[in-house]
Amino acid sequence: MKVSVEKLEHNMAVLTVEVPEDTVEEALQKAYLSQRKRISVPGFRKGKVPRQLIEKMYGPAVFYEEAGNYMIDNEYPKAYDESGLEIVSAPEIEVKEIEKGKPFIFTAKVAVKPEVTLGKYKGLEVTKIDTKVSDEEVEKKINEELKKNARIVTKEGPAALSDTAVIDFEGSVEGVPFEGGKSKDYELELGSHTFIDTFEDQIVGKSAGDEFDVNVTFPEDYGEKSLAGKAAVFVVKLNEVKTHELPELDDEYVSDTTEFDTVEEYRKDILDRLTKEKENAARGQKEDEAVEKLVSESTMDIPEAMIDFQTDSELRDYSYSLMRSGLKLSDYLKFTGETVESVKERIRPNAKKRIEASLVLEAVAKAEGLSATDEDVDEKLKETAERNDLTLDEIRENVSDSERKTMKRQIEIEKAIDFILDNAKEKAPKKTRKDSKDKAEV
């Protein structure tokens, strides 16, 4: 096999691949063996017709398409390796010549990983984020946990936010009931925003036995087009109000329901967890801010084919996530009225951002010599093994060279992020007019 490379503008390249005659003959024979069971010729049993006779009857080109596909599938990966290029897209294949007794020639147009001219990456300014957890936040979290062990009881008196209203309702637009707008004994948590507009707010203050109208307006982008933007009236009967009766927070409750013995220990754990969550969220925001600034100050010529490739990859990931939720992509498209192309158009900007972020971070890692060692990879594999109750050796056996290479690349990106944040300068957030007004009022 011979491979020649022609570099084009905007980080594109064309590989011209020439496959020798003996390989072409092997591919044609393979195509014949694959197809002969489907070819019938009078005087011969099915599957026993000689190749020469089939080629004489139908022409030598009868096996070209399958043989060509077979050779492309087998020879392109070899050409990829031999080219020495860092290819970042699916190949655009074009067959140039296929004929019995001659070399098979095809081209593969590909995108090549672009070079990055880094902007300033040391001393980037990022917004300082307050990660202090207030007493109110701790109490809110504790109440959420208590609610999980609460008793549901019937409440006397008016409904309030967080209560559950058991209601009958029927909706109509201009006096005409609409499909899906009627239900009996529906349990609606007030404040959950399950229903549109101010529906739940209009139940607050009502008591069991009350009958009343709820007036709402469907959003302009409502899924059911016939209702979008329309004013509706729901006739509602409040059958019952349920509320959560929270258990008393004491040492006995804590020792029975948690790993702690005292309320003090439990409260400290809540505080520590909330602090960790805030710190992680703050770090994520600072990462995004720093990388966005670095991308804006760096230059790179990203080929469109590379963005297409990343978009297709993200669409596949999205499809898999839907499948894990029990929904096929085709069904999702039917429900939302979207098409594959409209979804691609929606996720394409994010795909480009991912590429830009990866490229600049890889460039930082290269500039600072931040390489990933085998020990770094083993540490990641060890974490995976512990999460899945496996040994390190068991995990290693199932990791391919390609996956290990991908892991090293990700570790280097993580090291680059750490380096950027370690060398960043935190600045106080800009004060808004509201902040200034609040301060003045105090």
Residue 137 lies in a domain: no
CB 305 within 8 A of CB 13: no
CB 260 within 8 A of CB 184: no
Element (H, E) at 420: helix 401-422
Domain with 8 in it: 2-113
Provide the CATH number for the domain around residue 331.
1.10.3120.10
Q: Can you give 74-88 as a three-state secondary structure string?
A: HHHHHHHHHHCCCEC
DSSP string computed for 167-208: EEEEEEETTEEEEEEEEEEEEEETTS--SSTTTTTTTTT--T
> What sign does the CA torsion over 193, 196, 201, 202 have?
negative
Rounded to a whole number, what is the distance in angstroms from the first to the last CA of the chain? Answer: 80
| Residue 109: strand pairing partners | 14, 92
365 and 276 belong to one structural domain: yes
Instruction: DSSP letter for 63, please.
Output: G
Q: What angle do CA 4, 68, 305 make, to 5 degrees?
A: 55
156 and 234 belong to one structural domain: yes
d(CA 185, CA 280): 42
In the three-class reduction of DSSP (H, G, I as helix; E, B as strand; rest coil), residue 212 is classed as strand
Final residue before a domain boundary, out of 211, 245, 279: 245
Q: Residues 6 or more apart from 34 whose CB is under 8 A from it?
A: 66
Token representation of residue 77: 């990966």
Residue 238 lies in a domain: yes
Residue 141 lies in a domain: no
pLDDT for position 435: 56
203 and 291 belong to one structural domain: no
Angle between helices 135-148 and 263-297 (to 10 degrees): 110
234 and 265 belong to one structural domain: no
Strands (E), 100-147: 104-111, 116-117, 125-127
Question: pLDDT in tens for each of the 442 residues of the chain?
Answer: 999 999 999 999 999 999 999 999 999 999 999 998 888 888 888 788 999 999 999 998 999 999 999 999 999 999 999 999 999 999 999 999 999 999 999 999 999 999 999 999 999 999 999 999 999 999 999 999 998 899 999 999 999 998 999 999 999 999 999 988 999 999 999 999 889 889 999 999 999 999 999 999 998 888 788 888 999 999 999 999 999 899 999 999 999 999 999 999 999 999 999 999 999 999 999 999 999 999 999 999 999 999 999 999 999 999 999 999 888 999 888 888 889 999 999 999 999 999 999 999 999 999 999 999 999 999 999 998 998 888 888 888 888 888 999 999 999 999 999 999 999 999 988 765 555 555 544 3
Residue 124 lies in a domain: no
Chain centroid to Cα 425, Å, comes to: 31
d(CA 348, CA 306): 11
Q: In the chain, how many domains are there? A: 3
92 and 163 belong to one structural domain: no
Residue 361 lies in a domain: yes
272 and 421 belong to one structural domain: yes
d(CA 80, CA 98): 20
204 and 297 belong to one structural domain: no
pLDDT for position 394: 87
94 and 38 belong to one structural domain: yes
In the three-class reduction of DSSP (H, G, I as helix; E, B as strand; rest coil), residue 21 is classed as helix
274 and 407 belong to one structural domain: yes
Residue 125 lies in a domain: no
Q: Catalogue the long-range contacts made by 345-348 (C-beta closer than 8 Å, 24 or more residues apart).
A: 347/311, 347/314, 347/315, 347/318, 348/307, 348/311
239 and 339 belong to one structural domain: no
291 and 362 belong to one structural domain: yes
In the three-class reduction of DSSP (H, G, I as helix; E, B as strand; rest coil), residue 383 is classed as helix
Provide the CATH number for the domain around residue 99.
3.30.70.1050
Residue 230 lies in a domain: yes
pLDDT for position 433: 57
